[in-house]
Homo-oligomer: A and B are copies of this chain.
């Protein structure tokens, strides 16, 4: 149902119609509806009243799920308007990881109210989860999983699932632990359904468990999901005691976030936490200005270098007309290579030990591309100016530029990785600036050498 229809119905007090419409809708779409109301309504009192009315018309289950999908700014409006009892219900129904995500974005006063209304056990868990660093597996895990003690039968396992399964984020993989909560295996509902009810789960469990530790990098954890095609991954503490699971939906979010971060870093920006439209102008400018300044100052240095060739420029101003082509092509060649290498490193398709192989490959690609580009250039210059000297200098510079830029494009990201830096910073802007410096130096030195008598 559309936002406007809903608002009309709410204003006309047709609450039953809205309630029924909401039941038919998917929770994600309902959450989007809240976002639309939040964004399009200018009067904040009216906005709050509409959102609250609509929220109170949701079924209890839907309310928690819709709430989890909301953006933190919208969540805050709703929390502030809810009574303590309502808030308590929502917190009880939220999955722990969603609850922790929400709390992380809230101002202190709201956090206090949320914690006050969470039960004692919930509060303890929330506080524990809040301690995991932002980029750790612990920060994206949840404690809503089915844990089975070893020695149980399939029938007993199904009883456990029936009694607690409604609250669990995933029930399809159950985790088998010993008396000390050490993770010793996993058993899938599929295997249990295909086994006799009397089978002991130890006999059908998979003991080769792939797991993560709470402090593992969440990016590495997400990679395990796409590598092993899993739906959930157990997380253990340092004593391999089971503490939580990560589910695939959160892993997919991590994958997309990391990709976005790489895109941003590779274009010379500090990554932003929020989506583009929700980031303020000031924040956007702040994220971008540092690299712009660093790169601008580097480019100034290249300019200062050109001052040394003022005589050559004054003597043969035609040379200047090749600068955009040389700088542009060098930059493009370098960013092609660095993009391929950075992406290959991110997907683990390239390892730092492949360095020589990659570099040799890039040199050959550079020679192939370089020959074509030089041929086009030489022909064009010769036809237009009938000047073999200039054509030679430009083509030679181009060839060297292509080889250098493609070499830098593969060497620098791999070097960054070796030094435990993020390869994504060695992307287009950085490579382009370095290549520019090199190509200008080569160009004017070659020009002085080959065309010296004409300058």
Contacts and interface: CB of A to CB of B under 8 A. Distances in A.
B193 A161 contact: yes
A322 interface: yes
Contacts of A299: 324-325, 327-329
The number of chain A residues touching the other chain, given as a range, is 35 or more
A443 to B, nearest CB: 12
A233 interface: no
A239 interface: no
Interface in A301-329: 302-304, 306-307, 310, 313-314, 317-318, 320-325, 327-329
Contacts of A161: 193
Contact of A340 (B172, B276, B380, B433): B276
Nearest to A354: B277
Given A291-B332, A333-B292, A300 B260 contact: no
Interface stretch (A45-53, A84-92, A136-144, A222-230): A222-230
How would you classify the secondary structure of chain A's contact residues: helix, strand, loop or mixed?
A: helix
Given A281-B364, A321-B304, A331-B432, A193 B208 contact: no
A225 to B, nearest CB: 7
A267 interface: yes
Contact of A318 (B194, B307, B340): B307
Interface in A334-370: 335-336, 338-344, 347, 349-350, 354, 357-358, 361, 364-365, 368-369
A416 interface: no
Nearest to A350: B276
A55 B306 CA distance: 63
Given A256-B347, A296-B376, A335-B428, A440 B324 contact: yes
Contacts of A259: 259
A303 B276 contact: no
Contacts of A333: 288, 292
A369 B285 contact: yes
A329 to B, nearest CB: 5
A284 interface: yes
A165 interface: yes
A405 to B, nearest CB: 11
Interface of A: 24-26, 28, 158, 161-162, 165-166, 171-172, 189-190, 193-194, 208, 210, 225-229, 231, 248-249, 252-253, 255-256, 259-260, 262-264, 266-269, 275-277, 281-282, 284-285, 288-289, 291-293, 295-300, 302-304, 306-307, 310, 313-314, 317-318, 320-325, 327-329, 331-333, 335-336, 338-344, 347, 349-350, 354, 357-358, 361, 364-365, 368-369, 372-373, 376-377, 380, 428-429, 432-433, 436, 440
Given A276-B344, A299-B329, A327-B328, 9 more contacts: A158-B193, A226-B256, A269-B340, A288-B336, A293-B376, A296-B325, A299-B328, A306-B324, A324-B440
